[in-house]
Chain A
Amino acid sequence: MRAATGAALGIALLAACSPSEGPAARRAALDLRAREVRTRAAAADSAARAGQRRDDPIALWIMPYHYAEISALTLTADGRLYGLGDENSEIWQIDYLRGVVLGHFTVGDPPIQADFEGMVAVDSALYLMDSKGRIYRTVIGANGATVPYDEFDSALGKECEFEGLSWDPASSMLLLGCKHVGKGAPRDALVIYRVSPGGRGAAGAPIVIPQAALAAAGGQWHEFSVSELTRDPRTGNFLVMAALQRALVEITPSGQVVKAGAIPGHHRQPEGAAITPDGRLIVADEAAGDRPIISVYPSTGI
């Protein structure tokens, strides 16, 4: 019995000695995190100016399993980051500097069940896209809220299986990335369709970038399966990401390839990307048998 009492006392002591976190201590710890991230970013910028490219992340947030199916990221104009679940219409607000999920809201009551593959914030509106090219328009909701939506079909489901949604402010068009081409879509090329919000069918000819053009820019891939499409607010160019090929391509709004290369860092299944106003690349990995991760890089790395 003495041994059992000793063991119980040991456990009690262990529990008593474990640090407790009050709200103030928690805030201070999170602020410290943000400072550390900014310090790493500044160091990376200095190194870049000195001609040393760094692919190491300046922040790496490991998310709980609930966020396993994170499939898209988008940044609002005021710098708020939102992530989207793959199979349900749950949207999470993420503080990428402090590593906190601030809240979540749901689109539709009951929530929309679809294979979501893209999301983009346009002013106060939020556009979601499923793999068949169906678009859902909604608004950003408060924490725990359920927000209404309306939807329209791009009618491009036969042409492509879509992944990646972005917004071109110059043409006021949605850009839909084509992961796998279907009937009627150009083959051996990176294909991006333009769709007018609320419109049906493609608005004009799609952006088609042949494999040869990608190869000429340094991208040696047999095919390019788009998994995310995001706009760089500094240049107005678009960054196209391919999870299967672990590849990144920067293109102009007109479809000219600027640069091509590999996604910085190590990633299991990068499905979401966003670029901050100061040029940091944020990449979201689906869990893929482990845990989902948000990585923040000092630059796009290409």
Chain B
Amino acid sequence: MPFFSKMMDLATGGSESPVRRLLVYYVFIVAITVGLLYIFPAANLLFSGERLTDAGGPQVLTDGLHRGAASIGIVDASALPPRLYMVITTFAVMLGTLVLMLPVSWVYMATRRSTGYVQSIVHTMLILPIVVAGIVLIVRNSLALAFSLAGIVAGVRFRANLKDNRDTVFIFLAIGVGLAAGVQALTVAAILSLVFNFTILLVWRTDFGRSPLDLAQKVEWSEPLSALVDTNDGTPPVPDRDLLLTLTPEKADALADRFNRVRNMLAGDRGKKTGKPRYNAVLSVSASDADAAKKAVEPILQQTTKRFRLDDVVSPEGKPSTLYYLVRLRKEPSQDDVLHAIMNASKDCVLGAEFEVAKDLEKEKSEV
């Protein structure tokens, strides 16, 4: 592989552009194939796609003498034992499948690096088409074998759900390349692989269809929000880039206001030396009925905390509500005991509860 990387670097002039590297790879593959066909004309059989031909109606047969029998593999094939010829053909189909799926896996790794990267899909992309090609080679044109295999495969149940539609498309491509290779139409498989890769790269590079915002808003907001996504200062980036960049200005303002308010309340006024935070934690309570939960939770907070204040209630349609309490905790009881008491007192309406303790305050404590 290092040798291969060096060759690619040499051919691309050290360029890291995926488009350029892909193009060099495909040119390299075409050159190898042309050379192979020149030295072993019988390899043309792998590109004929003959098993796609329809058996109905007039059908022109290949003229073995006009094209030269050796050039179409017939005489060469007869010179080889049939089983050996079958082994060579099968091996070549499998190898061709792998060679065509490698760049697809690279494109997947490049375009899905930041979000939703799943290593098992990369493995699947390389292995699945080989298996599919093998099955097609076995089935050939036999309806009986096809039904038998369908029966066998139906016995194996797959429960793997792909989280992203784009992953599904990669899997479909793997099946497509496997099918094309299996019917010995490697040309179709190669064009499929090439067009797919460049389309994916194009869509990825231009971020096609990313944001529903109009152009003005997009330009206005993409720059400052991009800073949150692509942080270079060591802090972790916001995980969902797309979601963040689709915020409208009003929503972003509202979000910022809420962050500021909570931060000030938790951290206190740092401008004053005597400033102490009124609250040191946020309690999030997930509830099926917000009012009932409020009635159940607040008496417990009254008993177990120094002070508390309901900061916000978020009630998404069709989903549980979340109540956010700003809380000043006591040394006793512990956070776990408070949470335990809340859950016990309101089993009917509270689905879950958790504390987030202000990190700034913890730091101050540790410094003292």
Q: Which residue of B lies closest to A101 (CB)?
A: B59
* Bound CA span A30–B61, Å: 10
Q: Which residue of B lies closest to A285 (CB)?
A: B78
* Contact among B57, B72, B85 for A62, CB-based, below 8 A: B72
For B, the interface residue count at a CB cutoff of 8 angstroms equals 41
Q: How large is the interface on A (under 10, 10 to 19, 20 to 34, 35 or more residues)?
A: 35 or more
CB atoms of B58 and A100 under 8 A apart = yes
B74 CB within 8 Å of chain A: yes
* Bound CA span A291–B69, Å: 13
A222 CB within 8 Å of chain B: no
* Bound CA span A26–B60, Å: 9
B295 to chain A, nearest CB (A): 61
* Contact among B58, B140, B201 for A101, CB-based, below 8 A: B58
A65 CB within 8 Å of chain B: yes
Q: Which residue of B lies closest to A14 (CB)?
A: B191
CB atoms of A293 and B64 under 8 A apart = yes
CB atoms of B20 and A3 under 8 A apart = yes
* Contact among B19, B60, B63, B65 for A1, CB-based, below 8 A: B19
Q: Choose among B19, B26, B61, B69 the residue with the greatest number of A CB atoms under 10 Å from its CB.
A: B61
* Bound CA span A1–B79, Å: 47
Q: Choose among A59, A61, A266, A290 the residue with the greatest number of B CB atoms under 10 Å from its CB.
A: A290
Q: Which residue of A lies closest to B184 (CB)?
A: A65
B68-109 near A? 1/0 per residue, CB < 8 Å: 010011110111001101100000000000000000000000
CB atoms of B51 and A65 under 8 A apart = yes
B316 CB within 8 Å of chain A: no
CB atoms of B205 and A66 under 8 A apart = no
B156-198 near A? 1/0 per residue, CB < 8 Å: 0000000000000000000000000000000000010011001
Segment of A4-12, A132-140, A188-196 in the binding face: A4-12
CB atoms of A7 and B72 under 8 A apart = no
Q: Which 6 A-B pairs have the closest CB atoms?
A: A60-B64, A289-B82, A66-B55, A62-B62, A61-B61, A99-B61
Given pairs A4-B202, A288-B82, A289-B83, 13 additional interface contacts (CB within 8 A)? A3-B23, A30-B60, A59-B65, A60-B65, A62-B61, A64-B53, A64-B59, A99-B62, A103-B57, A144-B56, A266-B75, A290-B73, A291-B73
Which residues of A does B touch, CB under 8 Å?
1, 3-4, 7-8, 11, 26, 30, 33, 36, 40, 57-68, 99-104, 143-144, 266-268, 288-291, 293-294
